[in-house]
Amino acid sequence: MKIRLATPDDALPLARLHVAAWRAAYRGLVPDEFLDGLDVDARAARFRSWLAAGEAENHVAEEDGELWGWLTVDGCRDPDLDPQTTGEIWGIYLAPAHWRQGLGRTLCRYGEEILRSRGYAVATLWVLSGNERARRFYEAMGFFADGASKSLDFGVPLEAVRYRKALGWSRPSPEDDPDPHRQALTSLRPGGDCPAGSWASRRTGTSFSTARDSSIIPIAFAAATVHETRFELIEDREMIWLV
């Protein structure tokens, strides 16, 4: 498989991939009439014009001439964030036949690296609030819901929530980290105790394992109440410390 820049010639296969991905991912979240009414040819025409104009940066994952995935990145479009320091993953779409094969992680990391190479310090993205599969995926990739939301029109108004991640930082393995609090995180599991020095998820209110080689880094930037015990918040890049 290779990842390359998309061209206007990719418009029709991208439209087919996009429609198939939306119908598979959003069925049950978005009205059936909206999904069934998606027009591949009309979408291809819009994509062809969009790609020819060079709007955003589009990359496709390709194998033997077949498009498996699509990544779009560019500067952040949100007016409340600094476009000089914040980039955005506008979208990651996979052909449903290639879900759960690691391609989503590959494209997400590829997008992060593009944004990092452009000098952005933070990456954002938007997810439908009811799309639990996508939310779990991005949380596993180190993103956290930052509290922002907006309404999107899918035939009916649906809420989307914004996720954010700091770029340019990697979590040390327990063996390489001298902090005993972080070393102790390897024993934590969802729903378990939340001792001093552990990470906690603002959305779920539970502590998580951060065992070596795990990509899960639950994060929060607001005061947290976990298991009915209040802790002091200390910001440290992508994490909070509960002390």
Residue 29: CATH number of its domain: 3.40.630.30
Q: Count other C-beta atoms under 10 Å from residue 164's C-beta.
A: 23
Q: Do residues 153 and 213 both lie within one domain?
A: no
Q: What are phi and psi of 223, to 5 degrees?
A: -55, 140
Q: Do residues 28 and 55 both lie within one domain?
A: yes
Q: Single out the residue in 117, 134, 166 at which a domain terminates.
A: 166
Q: Are 217 and 200 in contact (CB under 8 A)?
A: no
Q: Single out the residue in 110, 138, 166 at which a domain terminates.
A: 166
Q: Do residues 207 and 242 both lie within one domain?
A: yes
Q: What are phi and psi of 29, to 5 degrees?
A: -105, -40
Q: Do residues 121 and 192 both lie within one domain?
A: no
Q: Do residues 6 and 94 both lie within one domain?
A: yes
pTM: 0.69
Q: Count other C-beta atoms under 10 Å from residue 215's C-beta.
A: 13
Q: Do residues 227 and 153 both lie within one domain?
A: no
Q: Do residues 113 and 28 both lie within one domain?
A: yes
Per-residue pLDDT of the chain (243 residues; tens, 9 = 90+): 899 999 999 999 999 999 999 999 999 999 999 999 999 999 999 999 999 998 899 999 999 989 999 999 999 999 999 999 999 999 999 999 999 999 999 999 999 999 999 999 999 999 999 999 999 999 999 999 999 999 999 989 999 999 999 997 444 444 443 444 333 333 333 333 434 334 343 333 333 333 322 333 333 333 232 332 222 333 333 333 332
Residue 237: per-residue pLDDT: 33
Q: Which residues of 91-104 are buried (b: 16+ CB within 10 A; e: fewer)?
A: bbbbbeebeeeebb
**Residue 39 three-state SS:** coil
Q: Do residues 212 and 109 both lie within one domain?
A: no
Residue ranges making up the domain that contains 29: 2-166
Interatomic CA distance for residues 154 and 146, integer angstroms: 23
Question: Quick one: tokens of 98?
Answer: 């290639």
Q: Single out the residue in 135, 166, 197 at which a domain terminates.
A: 166
Among candidates 116, 70, 120, 109, which has minimal Cα distance to 91?
70
Q: Do residues 158 and 192 both lie within one domain?
A: no
Q: Do residues 154 and 202 both lie within one domain?
A: no
Q: Do residues 43 and 141 both lie within one domain?
A: yes
Q: How many domains does the chain have?
A: 2
Q: Are 242 and 197 in contact (CB under 8 A)?
A: yes
Q: Do residues 11 and 118 both lie within one domain?
A: yes
Residue 19: per-residue pLDDT: 97
Q: How long, in residues, is the chain? A: 243
